[in-house]
Structure 1
């Protein structure tokens, strides 16, 4: 065997080894999930949410409600368990703020197949629950999320049919809401951007002072004195606690028509040795009277400050351009007024971008480090399907010399010429349906 054959053989062996390890890892995860579910089904057999496990000194607690009535409809089952769930959550949140999520478990099978039933779960994201939260409304929203997920699963042609609704799991987690307190200095790198007004309060009302700071005139705006007290009539702050958690900002918005508030966090990038601003809370729609606040702090205390110029604050982490920029407050995409052929620019480009970005969750895009690799590890969340479809287009390439802006040139235009597809099924899937 020559060196090339040996190298090829080594690569094949390595790939096979990696594939085997991944398959073994996926198998262990699936077996663990099956064992955990069987244990849950044995532990509880009551018409109530029963505690089945806890961890981290009860920082995480799990409850389970089995489908002891054997409901065949998801909506009937959820309708029956809602009062019990609301009562259980009310008992827990009466002592402390929490986060919780729900997981609806069931079994599915393929008709006219000897394959064993497969477990399937429909889950919600963790939701914060405070003493003033409408628990019934929150539960209804979570139920609709799980039902919508099940509708998508049933309607995408998986071939599986509902066999049995097993039950619903309630996971409860200890939660400490973000809340502002007394004055905290802003890092000098951020302060030098001249984009922040940071009230130097000695009480716990920094949220209120950061809002009012926009209306304070004259020098020394950071001093919380009579200039601030004279502006307190502008907004209704009743119903807020001081410390004010981020979750209570919606109360402030409801009590003050035409007011909206965004909140941004601050973290240190130790690789690039600079501070990065990122979104914590972004209003669905900016109102006529809009505020951007910076939330800073540590494990001991936290603090709000008013962002007087958002573009100045984030410019250095997005671009080296020194002119005016227009920044999306949800994803930090920025635009400028430099002329670009056939491309929108400035405020017009930002408004066009908002039509797409406005419905998305606010994020701070972070590119992976050079040389890093991304590996899929959530094998327990995967499910084998009975068929797969491979499809491909063939196209003719027509040469062109069109330009898109100052730096982009189109080389070819693709004209579809033909297509093909192949359907590959599992051995136990019949080729025809009787």
Structure 2
């Protein structure tokens, strides 16, 4: 916070406000403070040079805000939720180091008890893949480096807040022969990669209770009973980013009509109809090398009729039968719109209450629009075009 003193001869003609937002690393704090201080001194000089009449007096305080950046990266063992564990479709290696990504990718080579770290010979890892292309802990954004260096494709899925349902995080466009699906787990302290050995079994009950075999799109989780239908679905779906299925909560699981304004009749409606004549098209020469439609006739409007319906009933129909019917129709619509606009601007006061309306005003307990109980603050609702009393509302 900076403090300024007012000069004697000039008035303040502009406000001085500086905002500096940064995402910083903690170990660069000293450099950031020095940089910010230098920036303040520069802004001080620029401000005084503008001739506002204000001079810099003192710095009252200096506030430094640091936000911790925690990227998505795999670390050490996290136990699977019981619902996921019961599907027996995920290999969750019980590692105590930061190489869960390596175990998850290599798990395909372990036939028996792949969840045990003792089953893995770390020396054999280097016979199959290059691991020096990535840094541990492995960020999601760095997986593409591993894919490119090892000619492999990797999908990553996550669990929702309740740890019950799977959703896609990172999905490749085309799966190579060497491919693996990973499940990314998180808690308040760490994160963890697991290998999905049977994707269909993992998400089957999440999608349908039908026990028949299904083919599932890993990007949007739509399913088919025919593999060919799934393959025909992929070209269109894979143009989009992976989608997380968001189901309704307990609070909003029931759909309710909330467009209360749509329950009123429209004060003005115009119904129109055209008649046209078919004219032959001459001199049209399409290119046979391109696809085209054979154009030989066109419609030309030669008459129209419209009628306006108001809250008072039908107005006299307007009929026109001559050339330039479309142009004349647009001109007529503009005129009708201008007349309606004048009626909307001139609000008609509410008509005096009848005896029946006075009785209704005293006895009514529900809003005439939404049918909910009226509060203490009742509003008399009337039509601004006719002045008729419509009812009480909140």
TM-score, normalised relative to structure 1: 0.44
- Specify which structure has the higher proportion of strand: 1
Instruction: Flag the structure with larger Rg.
Output: 2
Which structure would you say has the larger RCO, counting Cα contacts within 8 Å and 6 or more residues apart? 1
TM-score, normalised relative to structure 2: 0.49
